[in-house]
Amino acid sequence: MKSTVIKFIGAILLLCIGIFIGKSFFRSSTETAVPMPSGMTYRSTGASNDTTQVLKSNSFNGEIIEVKKGNSIQEAVKKANPGDLIRVYPGNYSENVFIDKDDISLQGVVINGKWPTLDGKKEINDAFLYSGNGILIENFKIINYKGNAIMGQAGNNFIIRNNWIIDTGVYGIFPQYGKNGLIEHNVLSQIADAAIYVGMCDNVDVRHNEVFDNVAGIEIENSRHCLVENNYAHNNTGGLLAFVTPGLPIKTTFDVILRNNFVVNNNHENFGAPGSTVAGIPAGTGILIMAADDVIVENNIITGNNNTGITIVDLATGDPKANDPNSEGNPDRVTILDNIMFDNGNNPTGEIKTIMLTQLDSNGPDIFAYGGGTGSTIRNKNRYRTFGIADYGTAQINDTKDILTMMTPKPVPPRSVSKEEIGELTYYGVCAGCHAFGTRLIGPPTEIIQAIHNDNPQGIVDYITKPKNLRDDYPEMPPQDYLSDEAKMAVAEYILSIKH
């Protein structure tokens, strides 16, 4: 059991989900009918439990820059000033677009079913990488990247919506270290790790997205105050996940609501990169809560997940390596309200299978809890087939209908990020996917890098800008030239300072 638990613990990342707006692209069939952007730089919040929340366009105050087939989106971003709107017309754009300014809106214009399409051709790492605040990215089709479709680094007040994302490598939508964001009405498939990955963020709503054929559907990791609502997660290896990964600069996941989602048939074979954390998620996982606190699971339809409907586990049990004294590994105060659950656990695997063979019913349960944690409750225990929740009390609330959003009522100010933080964030956000301290992942161990480049951060900067294939038994490292000079030096210094 232990090893199983460990495996899927290790595997977890976090997902949040989003929603949608749609207004602008469902209508247009000619260029003249293309409506103006719906929600420019910001929105009124809390007004509704549905998609109208972000529609208010009150702060679009700049120029409109048009990008047509044959032009470059990155060139338009270079020209743009805060407050500007970049409208991208249908066509193929094979680019890595880097946005390091505030209040830039990028809006695809879909005409007659033709989308502006960013195609990474399996050569380019990322489609959109933003570090600015107040970024809007909507209405793009993004395919065939190697790293991420849309990744944010420390950008606050973001909106990512209405995008159609297929096979973009490791992650689909991945805001990291951002506060106050909305991810809605995106459709993502064939992502080798998490389709929507909310990492080290606060105050994010993930609503009305469809995620399917991914390893992890929606993942909320080391993030707080997230609402994952009205999403359709089907045919992933794991559907919705809320967890803590130890060792990251942000240590906790708490205050997460998983509500009104369809979590159906998440039985996809796990195709995560060997060695990656999600590679251990057992196929058939509907919802996974690991070491996250104050998670409420309400009113979801959870069915057809062959391992378990909901798995709740602690970190300490499974992963001795995850020994981060600053990460508390128990899932505390989980609240299960009413959900529709049936037909889960038809073909349990690994440890859950072993455990269930000792039970009267050898199928996997709707709810499986293992390990530490206190204060968890459930509203209607007898409705479900359960394992390990004997100590769950009766839920003190019936619903969460008073909570319409986790976003902040107003935009929050930009984060000020120190050089050390930039280094740490870049390492964990970019490098740690391939480099770990003492073990070989896709790249050589960090301690080897330290030994080679001891006292010479510039050597690391030079290498990551233009990597050469040095070793026969390793693949080539992708160039990190999209990183700013500041981020490159910061991560080089950080990598040399890591001690374990």
Q: Which is nearer to ligand HEC, 379 or 453 (CB)?
A: 453
| Nearest C-alpha neighbor of 369 from the set 351, 355, 391, 387 | 387
Q: How far is the CB of 429 from ligand HEC (least distance, A)?
A: 9
Other CB atoms closer than 10 Å to residue 200's CB: what's the count?
Answer: 25
Q: Which is nearer to ligand HEC, 393 or 475 (CB)?
A: 475
What are φ and ψ of residue 452, in 5° steps?
-75, -40
Q: Which is nearer to ligand HEC, 65 or 491 (CB)?
A: 491
193, 276 Cβ separation under 8 angstroms: yes
Binding residues with ligand HEC: total (CB under 6 A): 26
Q: Which is nearer to ligand HEC, 22 or 478 (CB)?
A: 478
The verdict on 409 binding ligand HEC (CB under 6 A) reads: no
List the beta bridge partners of residue 393.
377
List the beta bridge partners of residue 324.
none
Q: How far apart are CA 261 and CA 256, in angstroms?
A: 13
- Tell which one of 354, 359, 474, 486 touches ligand HEC (CB under 6 A): 474
CA atoms within 13 A on the CB side of 101: 18
Q: Which is nearer to ligand HEC, 192 or 302 (CB)?
A: 192
DSSP 269: P
Q: Which is nearer to ligand HEC, 395 or 489 (CB)?
A: 489
The verdict on 478 binding ligand HEC (CB under 6 A) reads: yes
Q: Kindly state the tokens that stand for 198.
A: 């909310």
In angstroms, how far is the first alpha carbon of the chain from the final one?
28
Sheet strand arrangement including 164-166: 91-93, 116-119, 141-143, 164-166, 187-189, 210-212, 232-234, 262-264, 301-303, 340-342
Q: Kindly state the tokens that stand for 105.
A: 């809106």
Q: How far is the CB of 183 from ligand HEC (least distance, A)?
A: 23
CA 179-206-388 angle, 5° bins: 105
Q: How far is the CB of 105 from ligand HEC (least distance, A)?
A: 28
Residues in the chain: 500
Q: How far is the CB of 146 from ligand HEC (least distance, A)?
A: 8
- Tell which one of 35, 75, 470, 497 touches ligand HEC (CB under 6 A): 470
The verdict on 419 binding ligand HEC (CB under 6 A) reads: no
Q: Which is nearer to ligand HEC, 131 or 139 (CB)?
A: 131
- Tell which one of 30, 469, 485, 499 touches ligand HEC (CB under 6 A): 469
The verdict on 463 binding ligand HEC (CB under 6 A) reads: yes
The verdict on 477 binding ligand HEC (CB under 6 A) reads: yes
What are φ and ψ of residue 137, in 5° steps?
-130, 115
x/- binding map, residues 423-462, to ligand HEC, per CB under 6 A?
---x---xx-xxx------xxx----x--xx------x--
> Given the rule CB under 6 A, which residues bind ligand HEC?
426, 430-431, 433-435, 442-444, 449, 452-453, 460, 463-464, 469-471, 474-478, 480, 491, 495
